[in-house]
């Protein structure tokens, strides 16, 4: 899935421990949820100050999903 690949790439590029990044897609009725988990020390790096980084990831992921006619929601899970 292009969207999952994109989110995985972004998350791995942002963190200090890329090997700890796990991304999985949970299918939903209208919207698929993309769950991203990272090492606990890296959570701040994917969220960013006032959530700015995760918000930018969501916006770009939304565009990638729209290309496939899908809707996605990106969540950082602990």
Partner 1 sequence: MDSIVRHGRTVEEAVASAARELGVDASRLEVEVLDEGSRGFLGVLGQRESRVRVTVNPGKEARVEAVVGEILAHVNPDAEFSVDSDEQFISVRIEGDNLGLIIGRRGETLNALQYLVNVLCGRGTEDRRSVIIDAGDFRSRREEDLVGLARRMAERSIKSGRQVRLDPMPPHERKIAHLALHDDERVQTHSEGEDPARFVVIAPRE
Q: Is 32 in the site for partner 1 (CB under 8 A)?
A: no
Q: Is 10 in the site for partner 1 (CB under 8 A)?
A: yes
How many H helices and E strands in the chain?
Answer: 3, 3
Which member of 18, 20, 43, 62 binds partner 1 (CB under 8 A)? 62
CA 38 – CA 12 distance, rounded (Å): 9
CA 41 – CA 14 distance, rounded (Å): 12
Q: Which residues bind partner 1 (CB under 8 A)?
A: 2-3, 5-6, 9-10, 13-14, 48, 50, 52-53, 55-57, 59-60, 62-64, 66-67
């Amino acid at each position: 899935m292009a969207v999952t690949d994109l989110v995985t790439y972004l998350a791995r590029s942002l963190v200090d421990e890329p090997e700890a990044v796990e991304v999985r897609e949970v299918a939903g009725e209208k919207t698929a949820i993309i769950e991203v988990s990272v090492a606990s020390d890296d959570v701040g790096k994917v969220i960013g100050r006032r959530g700015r980084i995760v918000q930018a990831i969501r916006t770009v992921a939304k565009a990638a999903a729209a290309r496939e006619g899908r809707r996605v929601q990106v969540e950082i899970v602990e």
